[in-house]
């Protein structure tokens, strides 16, 4: 395994031509099971590779490319989730946070006053709705699964296809959406201004501008930045409480970071890379094909790509994937185990894993340790 050690400082390569990893990685010696060298990973493409091949590392790279299963990140390199950041033009205040919470739970934000954000992002259902695809206005099924808003404050781009650049930008989309809350923003401003409690609160938080659509979005975003998953058994384990993970979960952790290669896309404290991949989810029969990120960028390579979801609190947010096609984590693992389904343009990072039954079970035990501490939510009194 010396070959591997010799190239590890250049990052690592992969069968195929391109690999993108943005976490700190280390290469593991297969024989000893120890990580040998730590290295920052790069976007590697053909140019990068041929440069190193020119340095005489070609053989090593090729040899390494034959062992894609050797892509290991060191699970010991634990980073807790950092403190959440609030944007400079929308700083946190307790009153804004409380106002945002009221708005989040208030059905008066919708055109027919029947639907709130919490209808589809319900805290008792993991801030989602437990449906494969969400039900919009008039209970009509829409095209995508309602994602949990847990930790959404950490994501740069919002939505499965990343079409909003911030929570502030995101918030008005479902309010205006004719198939969702179907609300006219001018009307909404008038409606909320006419509620004395809201009128006063907006003035207090935002000063002269008071009730505006922009301020509604800012308050909602501030509240959402407080919906966080914290203190999972996995965090406790990493901070020294070794009793918080079972042996099966520990074995699953190893698989997650090694043979299962999940960390390639689900790396870092969020277990997501803030990036988009085509993992080979073949279009569902009888449904409009969803091209994902492609619809936003119109780049061929983005066809069928979706944003990598975070895996914290994952057991609470079934069903899974952008279209909710998998009911259980078992189904998700089987999908990754077969390297995804055949689909044009599928990411070369998707490869069959050949996991044994026990390994799959262990992986699920590990995923369960990513559930944060249960946090009860008290519903706000809505302004009258």
- Please check whether residue 107 is in contact with residue 115, taking contact to mean a CB–CB distance below 8 angstroms: yes
Binding residue count for ligand HEC, defined by CB under 6 A:
54
The yes or no reply on residue 279 touching ligand HEC (CB under 6 A) is yes
Residue number, 16 or 196, with CB nearest to ligand HEC:
16
Compute the distance between CA of residue 345 and CA of residue 351 in angstroms, rounded to an integer.
13
The piece of 1-9, 69-77, 237-245, 314-322 that touches ligand HEC (CB under 6 A) is: 314-322
**Site mask for ligand HEC (CB under 6 A), range 164-203, x = bound:** ---x--xx--xx----xx----------------------
To the nearest whole angstrom, how small is the minimum distance from the Cβ of residue 383 to ligand HEC?
A: 16
257 binds ligand HEC (CB under 6 A): no
- Residue 162 CB neighbour total at 10 angstroms: 21
The residue among 326, 322, 354, 327 whose CA lies nearest residue 338 is 354
- The number of C-alpha atoms within 13 Å of 371 and in the hemisphere containing its C-beta is 15
By CB under 6 A, tell whether 115 contacts ligand HEC: yes
127 binding ligand HEC? (CB under 6 A): no
Q: Binding of ligand HEC at residue 150 (CB under 6 A)?
A: no
- DSSP secondary structure of 134-162: -B-GGG-B-SS-----TTGGG-SSBSTT-
Is 134 one of the binding residues for ligand HEC (CB under 6 A)? yes
Say whether residue 266 binds ligand HEC (CB under 6 A): yes
> Based on CB atoms, which residue is closest to ligand HEC, 37 or 69?
69
Q: Does 12 bind ligand HEC (CB under 6 A)?
A: no
The rounded distance, in Å, linking the Cα atoms of 219 and 210 is: 12
- Least Å from the CB of residue 370 to ligand HEC: 10
Question: Binder to ligand HEC among 260, 268, 280, 383 (CB under 6 A)?
Answer: 260
* Pick 249 or 333: Cβ nearer ligand HEC: 333
Among 314, 365, 372, 383, binds ligand HEC (CB under 6 A): 314
CA distance 113 to 51: 61
Candidate segments 44-52, 54-62, 111-119, 188-196, binder of ligand HEC by CB under 6 A: 111-119
Burial class (CB in 10 A: 0-12, 13-18, 19+), 286: exposed
Distance CA 202, CA 338 (A): 52
Q: CA–CA distance from 244 to each of 248, 256, 269 (Å)? A: 12, 18, 18
Active site residue 180: yes
Can residue 100 be called a binding residue for ligand HEC (CB under 6 A)? no
CA–CA separation, 315 and 329 (whole Å): 8
Stretches 36-44, 66-74, 117-125, 235-243: which one binds ligand HEC (CB under 6 A)?
117-125
Buried b / exposed e over 130-154, threshold 16 CB at 10 Å, is: bebbbbbbeeeebebbbbbbbbbbb
In DSSP terms, 24 is beta-bridged to 40
User: Beta strand pairing status for 276-277 and 43-44?
Assistant: unpaired
> Is 281 one of the binding residues for ligand HEC (CB under 6 A)?
yes
Task: Indicate which residue of 75, 168, 180, 224 is catalytic.
Answer: 180
The helix (H) or strand (E) run that includes residue 65 is helix 58-65
Judged by the rule CB under 6 A, the positions of this chain that interact with ligand HEC are 109, 115, 117, 119-121, 134, 136, 142, 144, 146-147, 149, 152, 155, 158-161, 167, 170-171, 174-175, 180-181, 220, 224, 260-262, 264-266, 277, 279, 281, 306, 308-309, 311, 314, 317, 320-322, 329, 332-333, 336, 347, 349-350, 363
The set of catalytic residues is 180
């Amino acid at each position: 395994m010396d070959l591997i050690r010799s190239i590890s400082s250049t990052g690592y390569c992969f069968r195929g031509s391109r690999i993108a990893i943005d976490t700190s990685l280390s290469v593991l010696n297969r024989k000893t099971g120890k990580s040998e060298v730590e290295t920052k990973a790069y976007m590697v493409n053909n140019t990068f590779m041929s440069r190193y091949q020119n340095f005489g590392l070609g053989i090593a790279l090729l040899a390494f490319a034959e062992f894609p299963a050797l892509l290991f990140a060191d699970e010991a390199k634990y980073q807790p989730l950092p403190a959440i950041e609030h944007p400079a033009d929308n700083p946190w205040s307790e009153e804004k946070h409380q106002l945002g919470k009221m708005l989040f739970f208030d059905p008066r934000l919708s055109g027919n006053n029947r639907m709130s954000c919490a209808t589809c992002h319900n805290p008792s259902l993991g801030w989602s709705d437990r449906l494969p695809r969400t039900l919009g206005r008039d209970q009509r099924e829409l095209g995508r699964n309602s994602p949990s808003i847990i930790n959404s404050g950490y994501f740069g781009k919002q939505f499965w296809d990343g079409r909003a650049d911030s929570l502030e930008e995101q918030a008005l989309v479902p309010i205006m959406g004719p198939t969702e809350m179907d609300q006219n923003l001018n009307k909404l401003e008038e409606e909320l201004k006419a509620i004395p409690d809201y009128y006063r609160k907006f003035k207090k938080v935002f000063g002269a501008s008071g009730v505006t659509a922009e301020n509604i979005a800012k308050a909602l975003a501030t509240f959402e930045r407080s919906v966080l998953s914290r203190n999972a058994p996995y965090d406790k384990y990493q901070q020294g409480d070794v009793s918080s993970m079972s042996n099966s979960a520990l074995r699953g952790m190893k698989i997650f970071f090694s043979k299962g290669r999940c960390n390639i896309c689900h790396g870092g404290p969020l277990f997501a890379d803030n990036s988009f991949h085509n993992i080979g989810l073949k279009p569902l029969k009888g449904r409009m094909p969803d091209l994902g990120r492609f619809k936003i960028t119109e780049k061929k390579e983005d066809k069928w790509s979706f944003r990598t979801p975070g895996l914290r609190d994952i057991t609470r947010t079934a069903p899974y994937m952008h279209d909710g096609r998998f009911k259980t984590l078992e189904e998700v693992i089987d999908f990754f185990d077969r390297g995804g389904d055949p689909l044009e343009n599928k990411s070369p990072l998707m490869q069959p894993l050949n996991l044994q039954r026990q390994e799959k079970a262990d992986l699920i035990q590990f995923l369960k340790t990513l559930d944060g501490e249960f946090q009860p939510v008290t519903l706000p009194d809505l302004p009258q």
